[in-house]
């Protein structure tokens, strides 16, 4: 299970025209917004990436993370950029919650490299997408068979919250509704 003291959220490449090409992008956006809002309430660190030459993170998301500087990368795997690995190591966290695009490219390659480096990867399946539903499904299936842990936005937030008596529970409940 996800633990607040061990988790970092990686928001991968939800930017520009690439976002506009995603299958079921409104569902992706709605769940990613909930995930980021909940993570902010729980005071969990966020690492934001952008693929070079695709444009900025979409405004609906960057608005929620004004203090998070995006790491612009050339490699499909975030782990191919030393700044990402430095930022991740600086958090001291070993569980990485993944959301973003594309499920079968950047989210997939990042997750594979993270697992190879000894991190526990939790894939928020309702907050990842690809240009086609088939590629999304294949990316998720490959990650599951490789050892990633499948989760959803709600499941992740409730795992991190742990109890309804947490002072932040009411704020999380408002997000989920």
DSSP labels, 26-44: HHHHHHHHHHHHHHHHTT-
Confidence label for 177 from pLDDT (cuts 50, 70 and 90) = confident
**What is the number of domains present in the chain?**
1
Containing structural domain, residue 68: 4-176
Please report, for the domain that includes residue 106, its CATH number.
3.40.50.850
Q: Which helix (H) or strand (E) holds 88?
A: helix 82-91
- Its pTM stands at 0.96
pLDDT tens digits along 4-61: 999 999 999 999 889 999 999 999 999 999 999 999 999 999 999 999 989 999 999 9
Strand ranges in 32-161 using DSSP code E only, listed in sequence order? 46-51, 71-73, 95-101, 120-129, 149-151
């Amino acid at each position: 299970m996800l633990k607040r003291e061990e988790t970092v959220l990686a928001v991968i490449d939800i930017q520009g025209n690439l976002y506009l090409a995603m299958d079921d992008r409104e569902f992706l956006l709605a769940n990613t917004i909930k995930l980021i809002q909940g993570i902010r309430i729980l005071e969990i660190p966020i690492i934001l990436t952008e693929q070079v030459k695709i444009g900025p993170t979409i405004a609906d998301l960057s608005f929620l993370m004004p203090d998070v500087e995006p790491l612009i990368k050339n490699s499909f795997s975030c782990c191919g950029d030393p700044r990402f690995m430095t930022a991740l190591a600086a958090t001291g966290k070993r569980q990485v919650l993944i959301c973003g695009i594309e499920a079968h490219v950047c989210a997939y390659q990042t997750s594979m490299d993270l697992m190879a480096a000894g991190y526990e990867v939790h894939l928020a399946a309702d907050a990842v997408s690809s240009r086609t539903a088939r590629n999304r499904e294949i990316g998720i299936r490959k990650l599951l068979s490789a050892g990633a842990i499948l989760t959803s936005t709600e499941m992740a937030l409730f795992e991190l919250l742990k109890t309804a008596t947490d002072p932040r529970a009411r704020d999380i409940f408002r997000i989920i509704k």
